[in-house]
Amino acid sequence: MSAAYLRNCWYMAGWSDEVGEGLLRRRILGEPILLYRAGDGAVVALTDRCPHRFAPLSAGTREGDVVRCTYHGLAFDQRGQCVHNPFSATLPKGATVRAWPVRERNGIVWLWPGAEAAADPALIPDFDRIEASGFPPITGLMPMDAPYEFATDNLMDLSHIEFVHRGSFAGAGVIFAGEHKLRQEGDALHSDWWMPKVPAPAHTYGVYERGLPTDHWLEMRWSAPASMLLEIGATPAGEPREGGVIIHQAHIITPETETTAHYFWATSRGGPPHAERDAGTRALMEQAFSGEDKPIIEASFANLDGRDFWDAQPAYLGIDAGGTRARRLLQQMIAREARGA
């Protein structure tokens, strides 16, 4: 595993409903991981590489909670221990695969790539608000051909909405009528936009009249390495926030390799699942993420032609503060972890 990654933290491995009886392969931090759900409902995460001739175990078969390699038939239990050798009663020495600590919370499977003894569930980022309505969120996954930090840059600077998202979320320039503040609480960063007395944003249509003066806010919380929670809210100008129309979104980016990433997203529901309404929401999200964010993020990374981000000496705008601070904090955490190791 690359030393460039923060290891003693929780990474999102997938949505809970992605993991079932089948053998799911997903590369995380450069490592091939096999995910499946055991008979008792617990998620199992094993290195997806047989220790004999290195075939992917995900290409094999399940026999109860045991996975049998499709190449020479070695079988492994959910702890990664070889439990059957079809050629001998003796189990081969060294025939084990790593079992990775995993936990489920908020419909998310979290994986800990660091020291197992340090895998503290209390360190899992809090995404309770995507389920606060009592209904499951609408979720998705977007592959990204760029390092995960580039998605953080994008999400911690929401002013890009007015330029990148003209086909989806753009707000007719209202973000420039507001003010931006960056604050830090412990290792968490908060990138907040406050836009008072602006026309009702699109997410309130059907609740507020179009053009109604509202106080509108966008508040993004970043937790290392790249777990972000966005609150989108609006309320009639001067009214308390609590009575407003509020949506919560999860934006969780997991490195696949040094140059690719998994972009997991979710948006909260205000009511029970509804096929037509959910399809419209999903189409809007996919337009914004796959149709608008993805092309510019990937093109920006590719346009560096292999140069390091900082070596390219990026010009600085004040609105970059969130992404810049997140990159610096992450570098400090990785360096601190390396010194401790």
pLDDT tens-digit map of 207-263: 999 999 999 999 999 999 999 999 999 999 999 999 999 999 999 999 999 999 999
**Predicted pLDDT at 3:** 47
What amino acid is encoded at 306 in this protein?
G
- In tens, the pLDDT along 259-283 reads 999 999 999 998 899 999 999 999 9
Mean pLDDT, the chain, rounded, equals 94
Whether the link from the prior residue into 225 is cis, omega within 30° of 0, is yes
> 32 has which bridge partners?
27
Q: What six digits make up the tokens of 41? A: 């409902």
Task: Quote the CA–CA distance of 95 and 112 in Å, as a whole number.
Answer: 22
Per-residue pLDDT at 168 exceeds 80: no
Task: Quote the CA–CA distance of 261 and 255 in Å, as a whole number.
Answer: 4
The 8-class DSSP code of residue 64 comes to T
Percentage of the chain beyond pLDDT 70 is: 98
Q: 251 and 228 in contact (C-beta within 8 Å)?
A: yes
Domains and CATH numbers, the chain: 11-122 (2.102.10.10), 126-340 (3.90.380.10)
**Predicted pLDDT at 341:** 67
**Please, what sign has the CA dihedral across residues 338, 114, 255, 231?**
negative
Helix-, strand-, coil-residue percentages of the chain, each rounded to 5: 25, 35, 40
Per-residue pLDDT at 198 exceeds 80: yes
**Predicted pLDDT at 14:** 98
41: left (phi over 0), alpha (psi -120 to 50) or beta: left
What amino acid is encoded at 235 in this protein?
T
- In tens, the pLDDT along 10-41 reads 999 999 999 999 999 999 999 999 999 999 99
Verdict on whether the full-model pTM lies above 0.85: yes
Per-residue pLDDT at 2 exceeds 60: no
